[in-house]
Structures are given as C-alpha cells and as structure tokens.
Structure 1
Amino acid sequence: MKICILTSGHDVFDNRIYFKEILSLKKIYSEIYMVAPGEKDFITEQGIIVKCFKKRKAWYDRFRPMKEMFDLAFNINADVYHAHEPDSFQVALKLKKRLNSKAIFDSHEYHPEAFAEHFPVGKTFVTKTIYLYEKIMCKKADYIISVNDILVDKFKRYNKNVALIPNYPNMESVSKEYSEKPTFIYVGGIREDRGILKILEAIELVDKDYKFVFVGAFETEEVKVKIESYLKKNLNDKDIVFTGKVPHLKVFSYLKKSDVGFVILQPNNWRYINSEPIKLFEYMISTTAIIASDFPMMRKIVEDAQCGVLVNPIDEKSIADAIISLGEKREKTKEMAFKGNEVVVKKYSWSIVEKTLLDAYSELEKNI
C-alpha cells in the first residue's frame, strides 16, 4: 500500500507527523511519501520521499499552495492520503474523487476556532461557517484521527470511523546532568499567549540565583523586540538564555540539565484551556518537574502524576512562588520529576497509542 502524507503548514520533521506517525507506519509500509512546504525535494534517512512546494506567504495564502500540493500528490497516485489540516484535507478529498483513493483527516488542533482568530470582526460567524464546512468534509473522510476526547466526540457526530490518538511523546532516554544551580526551562514557540511575558515578570520577583533557559523561535519580530526590551530594562542581573530554534532531538540536551519546565498557557485562548500540550509530556518523559497553568486537562495529568505545581497563569506572583518553592526544595522537585516519568511511561507514551494508528490503516487496507 502506497501512503502519502499531506501537510500545508507543518515542517517536514514535525514531531507528531514525522517522528511518531510516519516512523510508526514505516514499520509496516515501505512506500511512504510526504508532500509538504519546503525548498526542494529530498529523501530522508528513513527512506521517506518528500515532495516540496513553496511555503505560503501568509495565513490567507491558501489557493496557490493547495494547487501545487494537489499536482504533486496526484502524480504520486497513492492508495491513502493522510492530511493534517482542513486545507490539505480538501486536497485529499479531491484526490479521493479523482483517484478513488482513501482520505484520512488527522485533526490535532481546534481548527475552526484557530482560523477565526484571524478575523477581529465577525469571529463567531467565521467559526460557525468553518464548523459547517468541516462537518461537510468530515462526512466524506474514510477515517478521522484526533488528539483528545473533546475533538473525538465532535467528529463522531459526523463520521463513525474516528480514532483517538493523543499526542503522547516517544520514549526518549534522558540521563539527567543537573546544573549546579536550579535550572528552569521553557520549550516551544516564544509568544505572549504561551505565557512568556508572565514568566519573565515572575522571574523579576525571584530573588534567587537560578538559571532560566528558553528554547524556541520568536513567533514574530514584534514579540522579539518586546521581550528583548523587557530583558534589558528589568532582568539584566538574571541568568537567562534564549537559544532560538533548535532541532527537535537537540531539545533533550537542554532538558537533561533542567529541574523544572514551564507550561504557562494563557486563558484568553480557549484552545489552550482545553488542551493536553505535548510539552507537558516531554517534560515528564525527560524527568523534569512542571509548573503548569491550572486548566482542567493539565490539572488532571499533573495531579494524577504528582509531577509539579499548578499556578494561576495570569498571576506572576503565583508563578514566582512556584519557582522559589521548587528551586529551594530541589530534592522534592526531583521526586516530582521521577513520579512524572513513571506515570508517562505507563500511561502517556506514543508506544501505547501507536497500535491504534496501525489498526486504522489495517482497516483501510482491507477496502483498497
């Protein structure tokens, strides 16, 4: 069976798409292609054939990339097209009609809400319109994959073939090499709605010699300027490092030296309140304790594992108190980290949900 992965906005080596789903499928299926944004075609070390089209210039640049994606995917003539966004799924459905192939929609975001955020006026109307369009498309899917119960329950109203495949981490072996002083880390895109400024405001309140490492790219130049200005004005005396974007596997070289990881998502984004961030699990798998926003889904994980501290994400003092407490009681913090690691291995690792993905493909293969 020939498989083609479609993505309009993700990187070729996206953690979920490539290192989890594609490499799991590669264990069974030898012929796997990927159509994704990029500069030139290439073949990965694992033998995945990647066909590239030019990245879109802005969020509204949709039609040109979709046309280029369709042309590349059509020439591949795959048995299954596995799409990761609504627009790439439109392409998958068009290919299904032309080639009599199978179409999978892999929805790991709250897409209607996310798209509507681009419209300051008429957001509710846009959201409802996208929901309706999504419903029409999903009825035509041969299979739908999603990451949490909220999304799975939604899609089950439209389609009987829905699989829950959470974004659990791969089992990365991390041998801790703690720094001399307590080290706190943030991993991910550097943007305000993920609590970057709140973390910096909290650090300003911490009168301790701790180290703070931020691993990830600035979302925009505006955010970069704002943060650099804040650092220069308020945090000159603090041990703070911004690494910029680093390859996924290199992230663990920073995690192994860290005591605590931040997941301070902000409540002004509904999607964040109702999410299980992959960073939460990556901290746990790397034996790193957690300071997390006190949101229902994250609360359930953190409290169940006893692997960190929950805070009010808009209250810098709440975050500062957690930093000081975990830094002062370092041995107890390490105990939290080890508990998190034990729980993630038993309940939240990719190896647990990999079979669900392979079973879905096995069902499709029977009808090809």
Structure 2
Amino acid sequence: IAKKRGKKVVYDLHELHPENFLENLTGVKKKVKEIIMWRVLKKQINFSDKLIFVSKEMKEYVKEKLNIEFKSKVVTNYANIEIKPERKTKTISFVGKTARGLENEIKVLREMIKKGYEFKIIGMDSANFESIKHTYTSFLPYDEMIEELSKTSFSLISYTLKDDEIPLNFVFSMPNKFFDSIAAETPVIVNKKFKSMANIVKRYKIGVLIEPKKIEESIEKIENAYENYEEMMENIKKYKHEFVWTEEIEKDFVDFVVD
C-alpha cells in the first residue's frame, strides 16, 4: 500500500524476524515456519527502499542467506546517558527480569559468590534466581538504574533457552543493557556465542567472554579480568562515547532515512 502511494519504505530489522518468537506458533514444524518466514522477509525487503539492522553480523547473514542486494545501515541500540562511577563494589549485576533459563550462568555465579563476589539484580526480583543468594532493587527510573549499575564490577549479559539452544535472533542481538553497562563504566560478562556482542567485547577489550557450560574456565576468566580491571576501565573510558545516543548519531540516522 505504501509503495502504491509513492511512499518511501524504511524497514527496521532490530530482530531477526524469521526466527523471532516462532516457538509461540503451534501446529507447524519449526523448520517449515522458518522457510515460510524467510520467503516473507525476502518479499518485504524487495518492497523496501532501505533497511536498518541492529548489527553488522545480522546484516551480513541476511544478505548471504537471501542472496540479495539492498541499501542499509547498522543502527545498534544505545544508552541514553553516560556517567562516571563514584565507587564500585565487588558485585556482578544483572539488569532487568528474564523469563529465560540461566542454569549454567547460575552455576558460575554461585562459585563467584564463594570467592567473595555479590550478585545483584537491578530492576526487580526474578524467580529464575531463587536458587542463588542475591540482592535486588525495585524497578528504577533510567538514570537511577544507570547509577546503580555503575556501582558494580561486572554486568552479566545473557539469555538462553531450553537445551542451551541459542537462536540466531539472540546470536545477533544487541540488548540495551549491554550499552547501558558500558555507558555506566561497568565491564560486561558475555556468552561468547552471542556473536555481535562478543565481537564488540573483543574489539574494544571491555569485558569478559565466557562459555557458561565450562564452569571452571569461566570463573578463571572473570577472576583474571578482575585482576586486570584497570585495563578494562581505561578501554571503557576511551570508547564509551560510541555506545551513547548523541545528536551526531541521530543526525547521521536521519540523513540516511530522508536521503
């Protein structure tokens, strides 16, 4: 309808739509659903003048999967503000509430608690963490959430599904709390299977990449990172402006859309 009216169509793919929430659709096998939805996506792209992707990796995957050319721009999620921490405690934080299983991460956290760390949920308590010692805050306004996050040593960024299956929608994800953590000058702990986030962590050296199923290895990596904490903090201070939405980023985005 938009094309028939001579309108420009800009399609935002901040989720990998052919895989997004397909588990909620019943009656058809997952593989069949994906085949259908990839065909739908290709049709949508052909109708679109421009595409916006949440990560470079997602853009490259879609391009290769559909063997199609398109005009596009990568616009990640961003933090709204950045702050300088007044103090930090030996705490691993988790921002928000998750309905997804984190069994392997919880095993790592339990061991870190034994080694003197605290675990804190910022936002609200979660039934998924009943089996582990933790503290939590109530839901906080954004600026207070960032301030609370800035007090912790690490921010755990993770979500998994049953049988540790990680859909590509998560592999390419760029959640807000990842960017909020860096803006709060808090290094991140990220499952290395989350490719888009992992590539940023490796490039800027602003956190720790772990494989949660490898408990001892994960613990060792976090402890080594804590021993070299100042190096990570210097990198975060150097690069964190790239993780915050600014007038310059907004202008660049608007220019792409209206050009």
TM (norm. structure 2) is: 0.80
Assess if the C-alpha contact under 8 Å between 1:145 and 1:165 holds in 2. Answer: yes
* Match in the other structure for 1:243: 137
* Match in the other structure for 1:165: 75
Give the superposition deviation at 1:110.
Answer: 0.9
With over 3 angstroms needed to count, the CA separation of the structure-2 counterparts of 1:101 and 1:286, relative to structure 1, is same
With over 3 angstroms needed to count, the CA separation of the structure-2 counterparts of 1:217 and 1:138, relative to structure 1, is farther
Give the superposition deviation at 1:338.
Answer: 2.7
Distance 2:218 2:172 in 1: 20
1:209-253 deviation line (CA, Å, top 9, x unaligned): 3322112457xxxxx44532x24xxx3xxxx22225433333212
Residues 1:178 and 2:87 aligned together = yes
Distance 1:133 1:269 in 2: 23
SS across alignment from 1:282? helix
Match of residue 118, structure 1, among 24, 39, 43? 24
Residues 1:191 and 2:99 aligned together = yes
Distance 1:353 1:284 in 2: 17
Assess if the C-alpha contact under 8 Å between 1:166 and 1:353 holds in 2. Answer: no
Distance 2:68 2:20 in 1: 20
* Match in the other structure for 1:317: 216
Give the superposition deviation at 1:183.
Answer: 1.8
Distance 2:129 2:153 in 1: 24
Match of residue 187, structure 2, among 273, 289, 294? 289
Q: Percent identity?
A: 21
TM (norm. structure 1) is: 0.58
Residues 1:264 and 2:163 aligned together = no
Residues 1:140 and 2:47 aligned together = yes
With over 3 angstroms needed to count, the CA separation of the structure-2 counterparts of 1:130 and 1:217, relative to structure 1, is farther
Ranges in structure 2 where 5+ consecutive residues have no aligned partner: none
Distance 1:348 1:280 in 2: 9
Letter in 1 for 2:182: M
SS across alignment from 1:126? helix
Match of residue 303, structure 1, among 182, 202, 222? 202
* Match in the other structure for 1:208: 115
SS across alignment from 2:42? helix
Distance 1:309 1:361 in 2: 35
* Match in the other structure for 1:109: 15
Letter in 2 for 1:354: E
Letter in 2 for 1:191: A
Report matched runs for 1:1-40 at 5 Å.
none
Letter in 2 for 1:214: I
Give the superposition deviation at 1:325.
Answer: 4.3
Letter in 2 for 1:128: I
Report matched runs for 1:29-68 at 5 Å.
none
Give the superposition deviation at 1:254.
Answer: 0.9
* Match in the other structure for 1:337: 233
Letter in 2 for 1:103: V
Letter in 1 for 2:216: K
Match of residue 357, structure 1, among 231, 247, 253? 253
1:54-76 deviation line (CA, Å, top 9, x unaligned): xxxxxxxxxxxxxxxxxxxxxxx
Match of residue 252, structure 1, among 137, 141, 146? 146
Distance 2:203 2:4 in 1: 48
Assess if the C-alpha contact under 8 Å between 1:259 and 1:288 holds in 2. Answer: yes
Q: Which runs of 4+ in 1 moved over 6 A?
A: none
Distance 2:128 2:96 in 1: 17
Structure number with bigger Rg: 1
Assess if the C-alpha contact under 8 Å between 2:98 and 2:159 holds in 1. Answer: no
1:328-355 deviation line (CA, Å, top 9, x unaligned): x3xx31431231231233x544346434
Distance 2:91 2:78 in 1: 24
Letter in 1 for 2:137: T
Distance 1:297 1:150 in 2: 6
Distance 2:34 2:208 in 1: 34
Assess if the C-alpha contact under 8 Å between 2:10 and 2:51 holds in 1. Answer: yes
Give the superposition deviation at 1:104.
Answer: 2.1
Aligned length: 248
Distance 2:44 2:196 in 1: 28
